Structure 1
Amino acid sequence: EKFKDARIIFKDFETSNWAWDPVAKAYYWHRFYSHQPELNFDNPAVHEAVEKVCDFWLALGVDGLRLDAVPYLYEREDTSCENLPETHDYLRKLRAHVDVKFSNRMLLAEANQWPEDAAAYFGKGDESHMNFHFPLMPRMFMALQMEDRFPIIDILEQTPPIPDNCQWAMFLRNHDELTLEMVTDEERDYMYRVYASDPHARINLGIRRRLAPLLANSRRKIELLNTLLFSMPGTPIIYYGDEIGMGDNFYLGDRNGCRTPMQWSPDRNAGFSRANPQQLYLPITIDPEYHYEAVNVENQQKNLSSLLWWMRRVIAMRKNFKAFSRGSLEFLHPDNAKVLAFLRRYEKETIVVVVNLSRFAQSAELDLARFAGCVPMEVFSRNLFRPIKKSHYVITLGPHAYYWFALQPQTNGRRVSKRRVVPTINAPADLHTLLNDGQRALLEREILPNYIQTCRWFGSKARTLRELKVVEQPGVSSDADAARFWFVVVSYVDGPTETYALPVKIASGNAARAVSRSAPHAIIARLAGAEETILYDAVWDAKFRSQLFEAIVQRQIMKGHAGDLVGIAGKAMAADSSVAVDKSQVLGGEQSNSSMLFDNKFFLKIYRKLENGVNPDVEITRFLTERANFSNVPAFVGALEYRHEKSEPTVVCLLQSAAMSESDGWALTLDAVGRYYERVLGRKADLQNQTTPTGSLLDELIGGVYPEKAKLLGQRTGELHLALASRVDDRAFAPEPFNAMAQRSVYQTMRASLRRAFTLLEKKLPDLSAAFRDEAKEVIATEQEILAREKRLLDRRTNASKIRIHGDYHLGQVLYTGKDFIILDFEGEPARALGERKLKRSALRDVSGMMRSFQYAAYSALWQPAMRTEDMPFLERWADLWYRQMSSVFLQSYLKTTSGAIFVPQNPDDQQIMLEAYLLDKAVYEIGYELNHRPDWVVIPIRGIKHILRSA
Structure 2
Amino acid sequence: MLDELLAAWISRQRWFGGKGRAIDELSIDSDVELRPGLRHLIVAVWQEGSRDRYQLLLGEREQLPDRLTHALIGTTPDDTYLYDAVHDFELTGWLLDGMAHDATRNGLRMRHVPGATIDSDQRSLVLGAEQSNTSLVYGDAYICKLFRRLIPGVNPELELVLALAARDAPHIARPYGWIETDLDGASTTLAFMQEFLSPANDGWDLALASVRDLYALPPEVAAAEAGGDFAAESRRLGAATARVHHELAAAFPTDVVESHDVKRMAEGFRRRLGRAIAEIPELREHVGVIEGAYHQVELLTHHVPVQRVHGDYHLGQVMRTPTDWVVLDFEGEPGQPLAERRALSSPLRDVAGMLRSFDYAARHLLMDHSQAEKLEPRAQEWADRNRAAFMEGYTDGGGVITRGDAALLRAFELSKAVYEVVYEARNRPSWLPIPLAAFRPRARL
Q: Shorter-chain TM-score category?
A: over 0.9
Q: Is the 8 A contact 2:74 2:82 kept in 1?
A: yes
Task: Report the CA distance shift for 1:741/1:545 in structure 2 as closer, same or farther (over 3 A).
Answer: farther
Say which of 88, 91, 101 aligns to 1:554: 101
2:420 is the alignment partner of 1:926: yes
* Matched residue, 1:468: 26
* Matched residue, 1:706: 230
What is the alpha-carbon distance in structure 2 between the residues aligned to residue 660 and residue 458 of structure 1? 28
Alignment of 1:62-81 (within 5 A): none
* Matched residue, 2:83: 536
* Matched residue, 1:752: 271
Q: Is the 8 A contact 1:566 1:643 kept in 2?
A: no
Amino acid of the residue matched to residue 168 of structure 2? N
2:105 is the alignment partner of 1:565: no
Amino acid of the residue matched to residue 569 of structure 1? H
| 3-state secondary structure, aligned to 2:185 | coil
Amino acid of the residue matched to residue 409 of structure 2? L
- Give 1:705 deviation, angstroms: 4.3
* Matched residue, 1:448: 6
Amino acid of the residue matched to residue 790 of structure 1? Y
2:375 is the alignment partner of 1:875: yes
* CA deviations over 1:780-812 (Å, ceiling 9, x no partner): 133144223213222112344101111111111
* Matched residue, 2:188: 650
User: How large is the RMSD of aligned CA atoms in angstroms?
Assistant: 2.0
What is the alpha-carbon distance in structure 2 between the residues aligned to residue 698 and residue 584 of structure 1? 41
Task: Report the CA distance shift for 1:674/1:704 in structure 2 as closer, same or farther (over 3 A).
Answer: closer
- Give 1:569 deviation, angstroms: 1.5
| 3-state secondary structure, aligned to 2:440 | helix
Say which of 502, 506, 516 aligns to 2:60: 506
Alignment of 1:216-235 (within 5 A): none
Task: Report the CA distance shift for 1:822/1:493 in structure 2 as closer, same or farther (over 3 A).
Answer: same
| 3-state secondary structure, aligned to 1:716 | helix
Query: Structure 1 or 2: larger helix share?
Result: 2
| 3-state secondary structure, aligned to 1:659 | coil
Mark the runs of 5 or more structure 2 residues left unpaired by the alignment: none
2:316 is the alignment partner of 1:816: no
- Give 1:940 deviation, angstroms: 0.9
Q: Is the 8 A contact 2:364 2:434 kept in 1?
A: no
Q: Is the 8 A contact 2:223 2:381 kept in 1?
A: no
Say which of 360, 365, 386 aligns to 1:886: 386
What is the alpha-carbon distance in structure 2 between the residues aligned to residue 656 and residue 741 of structure 1? 41
* Matched residue, 2:47: 492
- Give 1:617 deviation, angstroms: 1.1
| 3-state secondary structure, aligned to 1:633 | coil
- Give 1:741 deviation, angstroms: 4.3
Task: Report the CA distance shift for 1:739/1:581 in structure 2 as closer, same or farther (over 3 A).
Answer: farther
* Matched residue, 1:667: 205
What is the alpha-carbon distance in structure 2 between the residues aligned to residue 698 and residue 507 of structure 1? 56
Alignment of 1:132-281 (within 5 A): none
Say which of 785, 790, 809 aligns to 2:294: 790
* CA deviations over 1:445-488 (Å, ceiling 9, x no partner): x3211100111111210233211110111222xx4x14111110
What is the alpha-carbon distance in structure 2 between the residues aligned to residue 895 and residue 798 of structure 1? 20
* Matched residue, 1:526: 75
Task: Report the CA distance shift for 1:894/1:463 in structure 2 as closer, same or farther (over 3 A).
Answer: same
Q: Is the 8 A contact 1:581 1:599 kept in 2?
A: no
| 3-state secondary structure, aligned to 2:216 | helix
What is the alpha-carbon distance in structure 2 between the residues aligned to residue 800 and residue 898 of structure 1? 17
- Give 1:832 deviation, angstroms: 0.8
Q: Is the 8 A contact 1:659 1:822 kept in 2?
A: no
What is the alpha-carbon distance in structure 1 between the residues aligned to residue 410 and residue 436 of structure 2? 15
- Give 1:851 deviation, angstroms: 0.7
Q: Is the 8 A contact 2:214 2:223 kept in 1?
A: no
* Matched residue, 1:676: 214
* Matched residue, 1:915: 409
Q: Is the 8 A contact 2:417 2:436 kept in 1?
A: yes
Amino acid of the residue matched to residue 650 of structure 1? T
| 3-state secondary structure, aligned to 2:193 | strand
Q: Is the 8 A contact 2:18 2:47 kept in 1?
A: no
What is the alpha-carbon distance in structure 2 between the residues aligned to residue 634 and residue 789 of structure 1? 36
- Give 1:498 deviation, angstroms: 0.5
* CA deviations over 1:861-908 (Å, ceiling 9, x no partner): 2336xx5x1x22211111112111110110111022125xxxx45xx3
What is the alpha-carbon distance in structure 1 between the residues aligned to residue 124 and residue 68 of structure 2? 15
- Give 1:825 deviation, angstroms: 0.6
Amino acid of the residue matched to residue 885 of structure 1? R
- Give 1:543 deviation, angstroms: 3.3
Q: Is the 8 A contact 1:858 1:882 kept in 2?
A: yes
Amino acid of the residue matched to residue 373 of structure 2? P
Bigger Rg over Cα:
1
Which gives a bigger RCO, structure 1 or 2 (Cα 8 Å, sep 6+)? 2
- Give 1:819 deviation, angstroms: 3.6
* CA deviations over 1:249-305 (Å, ceiling 9, x no partner): xxxxxxxxxxxxxxxxxxxxxxxxxxxxxxxxxxxxxxxxxxxxxxxxxxxxxxxxx
* CA deviations over 1:310-343 (Å, ceiling 9, x no partner): xxxxxxxxxxxxxxxxxxxxxxxxxxxxxxxxxx
- Give 1:643 deviation, angstroms: 2.5
- Tell me the TM-score normalised to structure 2 length: 0.95
Mark the runs of 5 or more structure 1 residues left unpaired by the alignment: 1-441, 688-692, 728-732, 763-775
2:175 is the alignment partner of 1:636: yes
* CA deviations over 1:373-395 (Å, ceiling 9, x no partner): xxxxxxxxxxxxxxxxxxxxxxx
Say which of 69, 92, 96 aligns to 1:545: 92
* Matched residue, 1:851: 355
2:282 is the alignment partner of 1:723: no
Task: Report the CA distance shift for 1:783/1:748 in structure 2 as closer, same or farther (over 3 A).
Answer: same
- Give 1:951 deviation, angstroms: 5.2
Task: Report the CA distance shift for 1:586/1:941 in structure 2 as closer, same or farther (over 3 A).
Answer: same
What is the alpha-carbon distance in structure 2 between the residues aligned to residue 596 and residue 885 of structure 1? 36
Q: Is the 8 A contact 2:238 2:391 kept in 1?
A: yes
Amino acid of the residue matched to residue 617 of structure 1? E
Q: Is the 8 A contact 1:635 1:657 kept in 2?
A: yes
- Give 1:629 deviation, angstroms: 1.5
Amino acid of the residue matched to residue 873 of structure 1? E
Amino acid of the residue matched to residue 406 of structure 2? Q
Q: Is the 8 A contact 1:809 1:850 kept in 2?
A: yes
